[in-house]
């Protein structure tokens, strides 16, 4: 039975068990995208350097990846480093890159055992060779996995992705008549994947910060005040439950037959 693997990882009587049992498997978000924010504030609240927030955010990544995979999501996309994040102090950027390398090295076996296919979205070719090497290894080793796709957005910007897609269209000689929305989506880094149904942002900020601009056209947005290093299985389940109460209309109306006078 689905959910068994998630329930098996929760000690009996743990409050998360009740949350899992409320999830409607027929209405799971196929794609969950998360803007992991608030690491710096988490550290500041504890009078620690910002990088301690990033360090503590790794456990949140582990918990989220495993929960999403066990829940049965098809795709999870985590925003780890934006194109604009290069504006940060060099020491912070280099710590983020070393944490990333360490995470990839230590988590590869867990990704494999959870049948997860790891991918990178963003201008990965601009990252340093040592980081690219770890990324390539994780992508190659998990390439034949058939479970959840885990996209890590690194050196990612939504506008850059759109520009790159247009460049690709021009480079390959596409004509105006060749392009429609479906073909354009096929030029993006998420080609072939469903658009995010649920977009989560932690730390209470009400903005998208250049994340998946094309793909989030009709995503349900869930903002939580929880700071990323505090985000755990429970918070993801709460977001999924909130998503399942939403009424998605895609520009239409809820139930045409309920409207008096409707054909
Ligand atoms: C998110 O936390 C991590 C990255 C953007 C890499 P922040 O570092 O942005 O934390 P705040 O927003 O300053 O609290
Ligand atoms: C968005 O967070 C980028 C990532 C989570 C990687 P930021 O902290 O960089 O975004 P702003 O600056 O608050 O918009
Ligand atoms: Mg931030």
pLDDT digits (tens, 9 = 90+) for 158-199: 999 999 999 999 999 999 999 999 999 999 999 999 999 999
Q: How far is the CA of 204 from the centre of ligand 2 (A)?
A: 12
- pLDDT band for position 261 (cuts 50, 70, 90): low
* Order of all β-strands in the sheet with 198-201: 117-121, 149-156, 75-82, 31-35, 198-201, 220-223
38 lines ligand 1 (CB under 6 A): yes
Quick check: CB of 37 below 6 Å from ligand 2?
Answer: yes
Q: What is the pLDDT of residues 134-168, one digit of tens each?
A: 999 999 999 999 999 999 999 999 999 999 999 99
| Tens-digit pLDDT profile for residues 86-115 | 999 999 999 999 999 999 999 999 999 999
Q: In this structure, are strands 117-121 and 220-223 parallel, antiparallel, or unpaired?
A: unpaired
| 37-88 pLDDT, tens digit each | 999 999 999 999 999 999 999 999 999 999 999 999 999 999 999 999 999 9
CATH ID of 31-244, from 3.40.50.280, 3.40.50.2300, 3.40.1180.10, 3.40.50.880: 3.40.1180.10
CB-ligand 1 contact for 229 (6 Å cutoff)? no
**Residue of minimum CA distance from atom 8 in ligand 2:** 37
81 lines ligand 2 (CB under 6 A): yes
Give the per-residue pLDDT at 5: 86
Kindly state the tokens that stand for 26. Answer: 């027929």
Task: Assign 254 a pLDDT band (cuts: 50, 70, 90).
Answer: confident
Give the pLDDT confidence score for residue 4 in this predicted structure: 87
Domain ranges in the chain? 31-244
- Tens digit of pLDDT for each residue in 203-244? 999 999 999 999 999 999 999 999 999 999 999 999 999 999
Percent of the chain with pLDDT over 90: 94
Are 213 and 45 in contact by the 8 Å Cβ rule? The answer is no
Give the environment of ion ligand 3: residues with CB less than 5 A.
37
Separation of alpha carbons 34 and 37, rounded Å: 9
Among the bound ligands, name the one nearest to the CA of residue 50: 1
């Amino acid at each position: 039975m689905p959910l068994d693997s998630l329930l098996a990882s929760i000690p009996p009587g743990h409050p998360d068990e009740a949350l899992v049992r409320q999830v409607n498997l027929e209405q799971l978000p196929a794609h969950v995208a998360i803007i992991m924010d608030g690491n710096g504030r988490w550290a500041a609240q504890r009078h620690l350097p910002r990088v301690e927030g990033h360090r503590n955010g790794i456990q949140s990544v582990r918990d989220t990846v495993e929960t999403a995979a066990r829940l049965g999501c098809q795709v999870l996309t985590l925003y780890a480093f934006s194109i604009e994040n290069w504006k940060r102090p060099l020491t912070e950027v280099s710590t983020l890159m070393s944490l990333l390398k360490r995470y990839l090295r230590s988590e590869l076996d867990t990704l494999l055992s959870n049948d997860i296919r790891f991918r990178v979205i963003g201008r990965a070719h601009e990252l340093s060779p040592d980081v690219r090497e770890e990324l390539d290894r994780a992508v190659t080793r998990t390439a034949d996995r058939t479970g959840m796709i885990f996209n890590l957005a690194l050196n990612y910007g939504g506008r850059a992705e759109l520009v790159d897609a247009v460049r690709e269209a021009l480079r390959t000689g596409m004509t105006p008549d060749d392009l429609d929305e479906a073909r354009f989506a096929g030029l993006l880094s998420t080609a072939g994947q469903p658009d995010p149904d649920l977009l989560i942002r932690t730390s209470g900020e009400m903005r998208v910060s250049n994340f998946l601009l094309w793909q989030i056209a009709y995503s349900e947005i869930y903002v939580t005040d929880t700071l990323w290093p505090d985000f755990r299985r429970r918070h993801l389940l709460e977001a999924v439950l909130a998503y399942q109460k939403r009424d998605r209309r895609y520009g239409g109306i809820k139930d045409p037959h309920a409207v008096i006078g409707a054909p």
